[in-house]
Each structure stands twice: as C-alpha cells, then as structure tokens.
Amino acid sequence: MSKRSIIHMLNPMKHNSPFDINMALDAGYDVLIPYNHVELNEVSVLTQDAIFSRGPSGVKKTGMFIGGRDIGLAMDMLEVAKKSMVPPFEISVFADPSGAFTTAAALVACVESELKKNFKQELTNTKAIVFGGTGPVGIATAVIVALQGADTTIVDHFSIDTALEFAAEAKKRYGVELRATTAASDADKARLLSDADIVFSAAKAGVEVLNQSVLADATKLKVAGDVNAVAPLGIEGVKLMDFGAPLIHAKNSPEAVGIGALAIGDVKYKLQQALLRETLEADKPVYLDFRNAFEGARGLV
C-alpha cells in the first residue's frame, strides 16, 4: 500500500498556528502532526525519529515545518534538523515562524517590483525604513532588503536598546548592517521619512504607524508597503488591495505609490503554498528559509 504523506510541525510555543496547519493540508499533505513547546535540544531526536521510521521511500513523503515566533530560534532549529539527516534518510524542512519569512518576502518583492516599474530603480543603494522592525515580520523584512544592498533602518516604537539588540543579532547571523532607532512621536517618524526612498510598515496589527501629517514630510519617498490588514491600517491612505496606487498623502513625493496588506497577502499565500508543495514534491530534500522565500516571491510578483 502506498504510504501517506506526513508533515511534522514543530513549534516552540504553546500552540501551532491554525493558518500553517490549513496551508499544509491544502498544499497536499495527508497527515499533519503538531508538536508544541519544542526545545532546540529536542529537534535532532524528533528529526531522526521521523526519518528512520519510514524507509528511503517513505522519507520522500515526509516533511517538517518549523513555526514559532522567534526567527533566530527557527533558523537554529532548521540548522539542527539539517545536520541530523543521515543520507539516504533525509526529509525536506521549511522554516516560516509566524509566517514572517513568507510575509516579509512577499512585502519586499512587491515593493521591489513597484520600485523597478515606476522608478527604474533596484533596491541597491536605496534608503529603507522598517517600522515595527523588531517584530518577526519587521526584522525578516529588514534582513532581506539589507541583503539586497539597501541602507536599512529598523524602528522600534518604544526602545532604542531593543532595536540595537536586534541589529546586532542580524549582523552576527546574516552579516548585514542595520541602523537602529526608535520613533514614538510623529516628529520622530517625520524625521525618518524625510529622506527615505522606501518604507515598510510591519508594526502591530490595528496600529496606524504613518498618518497624513507624517507622510507630508516625505520628500524622496517612492514606494510604501503595509502588511497591517486590521483597521486602522498602518499607513493612512493605503487601501487593502492597493498595488501601486498613488500615495495620496505624500504630497511632497507626488510619484510615490503604496501597496496594501491584502495585495501583499495574496502573494504571501501563494508563496507559502508553493514552498510547502516543494517540500512534498522535490526530488531531493530542500531546506527552506527567508532566502528561498524571497526568490519565490520575486517569481510570483
């Protein structure tokens, strides 16, 4: 009898994400096994239990998904899982904590697309500001755009120390230089926007990050992307389905355009589906993180 496909879903938190479970099932997996409160030192044993129990033919129908909220921990878990493989007993592993990798990849790819389309410009040498830059989506966004050569600043609403800590970790892990700052007031935000080329809004859902008065101070702004789909939206004047619509409140940047959360979310949804299918259908094991996600998002956009 043909073996059913199984995906083992590891999560260091209390619950696995229903979103990820739905996505894995819709991607074609027959059986989904969630694991909660998984610690880093448990990943190797779980991986080897998964690979040795099905034989060389069974591992081709076995995958692993790493969730959680901490992107650094997810990357560590992915690396441990990869090192625990014993050829030919190898399975594919996909890390996407809080959907941060696929969301960030979709966000950056959409902004890059509009930057090229409207301004004939690459991400390289642009000045990028990431609001909510210490959250999972924000830091993943910052790392992706910095790897493309952008001068990137991460913004924490409350604490410069938190922003500096995340910037230091990004440099250690990925070799990128991130500027770090805080912006609690409209004046702080306006200062940051005054010479920004691209802006990413990845702050907490339901929080308006950039209002009309702040946007009016942007003089070089070209593209702004917002992943907040819960009212009030993150950037005033950017609608959910906007994809290159005029950024109406950036009056001193008359050519600036905005991208809304559902337009980005459509790319993110297709991207996560495609990567999950890749773990199921690839001839050889694959190990997927934000870098693979960004390349996939570029193809979709």
* Domain harbouring 121, CATH code: 3.40.50.720
Q: What is the pLDDT of residues 70-122, one digit of tens each?
A: 999 999 999 999 999 999 999 999 999 999 999 999 999 999 999 999 999 99
Question: pTM for the whole thing?
Answer: 0.96
Residues 59, 117 within the same domain: no
Residues 113, 259 within the same domain: yes
* Domains of the chain: total: 2
Domain assignment of residue 47, yes or no: yes
Residues 187, 40 within the same domain: no
Q: Is the pLDDT of residue 54 over 90?
A: no
Q: Which range marks the domain in which residue 234 is found?
A: 103-264
Residues 155, 40 within the same domain: no
In a 13 Å sphere around the CA of 91, the CA atoms on its Cβ side amount to 32
Tokens for 75, please give them. 């990357």
Q: Are 21 and 58 in contact (CB under 8 A)?
A: no
Residues 118, 256 within the same domain: yes
Residues 215, 133 within the same domain: yes
Q: What is the pLDDT of residues 230-283, one digit of tens each?
A: 999 999 999 999 999 999 999 999 999 999 999 999 999 999 999 999 999 999
Residues 112, 229 within the same domain: yes
* CA-CA-CA-CA torsion sign (227, 129, 125, 293): negative
Kindly report the CATH number assigned to the domain that includes residue 32. Answer: 3.40.50.10280
Residues 187, 69 within the same domain: no
Q: Report d(CA 13, CA 209) in Å as an integer.
A: 28
Q: What is the pLDDT of residues 145-159, one digit of tens each?
A: 999 999 999 999 989
Three-class secondary structure of residue 208 per DSSP = coil
Per-residue pLDDT, 58? 86
Question: What order of strands is seen across the sheet that includes strand 257-259?
Answer: 178-182, 151-156, 127-131, 198-201, 223-226, 257-259, 243-246
Domain assignment of residue 188, yes or no: yes
